[in-house]
Amino acid sequence: MMTTSQSVAFDAEKENMVLDAVERFVDREIKPVAQRLEHADEWPADIVAGMREMGLFGCIIREEYGGLGLSASTYAKVVERIARVWMSVSGIINSHLIMAACVQRNGTEAQRQHFLPRFASGELRGGLALTEPDCGTDLQAVRTVARRDGDHYVINGTKTWISNGIHGQVFAVLVKTDPEAQPRHRGMSLFICEKGPGFTSTKKLEKLGYKGIDSAELVFDNFRVPAANLVGGVEGQGFKHVMGGLELGRINVAARGVGVARACLEESVAYAQLRRTFGKPICEHQAIQLKLADMATRAEAARLLVEQAARAYDAGQRCDMEAGMAKLFASEAAVENSMEALRIHGAYGYSKEMNVERYYRDAPLLCIGEGTNELQRLIISAQLVERSPI
């Protein structure tokens, strides 16, 4: 049996190996094509194949089920490094791994044995289907319904803005199994649904940024799913399962924010040393120096908040407040840094030939995805009160 110090050393060595491999993959396979695929809004098939070969679709899935068994802390660093070059790619694995986390944490052993190895290998890829046309932040308002019919449930409804909706094959779908239940969350259940008759992707949704990854509408028309695919095997637990999964999702979004914030900073520092005005590099102008200092501070503070949230997740602690803080701050840091980077670059920052305009378009999504920042503030304040009784 390894001692604690040996275990820590092993984990650090494993993390370094994974991060080195990811860095090489990003530099070799993503950086040279990111701009072209982004502006073409083209799904990155070769990049996805490479991530599958590296095992990244099994990042947080335990080794016993064929995954890499990474901690949330290491996974967040993987996401940051990918997002620093092209944020869309990190989204392809995020939604997929929230689905996997729901099964790993809450599924029956039969469900884990059946789905997790196929998720980890990338044989089955997909994501989380929560949002509906009239339901975003208020998940308890979902209208998609599943009714029991023998050994199956029959699902009817529509989901929208679903990541991986077109190229994914399987989704964790939040439904109402008891639409009359009060409170509403007691009537919600989560199913693992593979595409088939009655389950289709109807259209790809066009977006301002976050291109390449497909965001789609999913339609369920008398879709029959085996009762064995009800996560945990008990109705009425779906809302709880999803909330646990979203803790990991918010850590992912926060890590993306760190990646974008750092990319904006790094490109701005480099450009400020090259661009000259009034006879000297603009990095010697106080106005630019103040911007760079604030950008660096935001990026570093965001990174530390992500580390704190990831450690809490790894320890099995409730971490909705920590994940909410990280997501709130890191996403806002990405937005602010992208604006400052655009200003530092001037007209060049507004050009499609530069990465900065992409960061400026991508960053606002982080304030919306996995729960708006307004919702994060409500979660944080509620937890502050709950954790500090008088």
Strand partners, 230: 191
Angle formed by the axes of helices 72-83 and 238-274, to 10°? 40
Do the beta carbons of residue 115 and residue 189 sit within 8 Å? Answer: no
86 φ, ψ (degrees, to nearest 5): -155, 105
Residue 67 contacts residue 60 (beta carbons within 8 Å): yes
Distance between first and last Cα of the chain: 44
Name the active-site residue from 194, 370, 374, 386. Answer: 370
Structure tokens that stand for 68 in this block:
């890499």
H or E element at residue 127 = strand 126-129
CA–CA separation, 67 vs 84, rounded Å? Answer: 24
Gap between the Cα atoms of 357 and 268, Å rounded: 12
Active site residue 247: no
Task: Considering only CA atoms, give the Rg of the chain.
Answer: 21
Q: Could you give the CA distance from residue 248 to residue 228 in angstroms, rounded to a whole number?
A: 25
- For 272, the enclosing helix (H) or strand (E) is helix 238-274
Cis peptide before 117 (omega within 30 of 0): no
Q: Give the C-alpha separation, 155 to 1, whole Å.
A: 48
* Active-site residue set: 370
